[in-house]
């Protein structure tokens, strides 16, 4: 089908999609479908194979990727904290997106409720005890380690707490002065403070 014909019959395709509950398309029409979906007021779910998720995310830029846990429907098993975080983030973003990109397994996967999505905001000069902060991080699903290496970990050395949240690309250091937040900074690969920031938001991962 030529692009000219698609453009001339845009209203036909829009009405067709509105009236059909399930549509199967090939990869050559994904760009056209993206433009049409932007004109619709309804929410659209795109089901594809897991290998195509990121590719479709680049085409449907307004959509969100709803990752699968890698289990069969209703199967109970271990899911990585990164996958759980991505799924919680997707749930949070659902309110602002009309397009959901997922797999068949993703449709049937266990989905955390919106109420389970917790977030801790820490700003300079906030008052928080070291004990309280470590308890919150543990309850959020973070693992306490001697020295952080991966996302989902935190460490405590005196009044210094290093955290590597999934919602940041770099680890973060919080320095306390008794119960006052004295300093917040991103860390380099060598775990050296390199960029001071005013606040952070740490999302739960379980």
pLDDT value for 186: 92
Q: Does one domain contain both 95 and 130?
A: no
Per-residue confidence (pLDDT) for residue 50, from 0 to 100: 82
Task: Note the pLDDT of residue 51.
Answer: 84
Total number of domains in the chain: 3
More confident residue, 105 or 25: 105
* Residue written as token pair 């989905």: 111
Q: 105 is in which domain, residue-wise?
A: 43-117
- Cα–Cα nearest to 176, from 128, 140, 131: 128
CA distance linking residue 162 with residue 155, whole number of Å: 5
Overall pTM surpassing 0.85 (yes/no): no
Q: Are residues 67 and 36 in the same domain?
A: no
In percent, the amount of the chain with pLDDT more than 70 equals: 66
Tell me what the pLDDT averaged over the chain comes to: 77
Q: Looking at the structure, do residues 8 and 70 belong to the same domain, yes or no?
A: no
């Amino acid at each position: 089908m030529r692009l000219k014909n698609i453009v001339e019959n845009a209203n036909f395709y829009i009405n067709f999609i509105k009236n059909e509950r399930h549509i199967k398309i090939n990869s050559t029409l994904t760009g056209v479908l993206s433009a049409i979906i932007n004109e619709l007021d309804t929410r659209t779910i795109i089901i594809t194979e897991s290998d195509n998720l990121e590719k479709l995310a680049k085409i449907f830029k307004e959509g969100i990727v709803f990752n699968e846990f890698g289990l069969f429907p209703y199967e109970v098993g271990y899911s990585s904290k990164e996958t759980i975080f991505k799924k919680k983030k997707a749930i949070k973003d659902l309110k602002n997106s009309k397009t959901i990109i997922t797999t068949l397994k993703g449709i049937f996967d266990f989905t955390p409720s919106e109420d389970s999505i917790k977030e801790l905001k820490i700003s300079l000069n906030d008052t928080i005890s070291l004990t309280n902060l470590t308890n919150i991080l543990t309850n959020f699903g973070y693992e306490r380690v001697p020295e952080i290496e991966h996302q989902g970990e935190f460490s405590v050395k005196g009044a210094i707490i290093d955290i590597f949240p999934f919602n940041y690309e770099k680890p973060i250091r919080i320095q306390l002065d008794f119960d006052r937040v004295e300093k917040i900074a991103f860390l380099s690969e060598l775990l050296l403070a390199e960029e001071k920031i005013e606040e952070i938001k740490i999302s739960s991962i379980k």
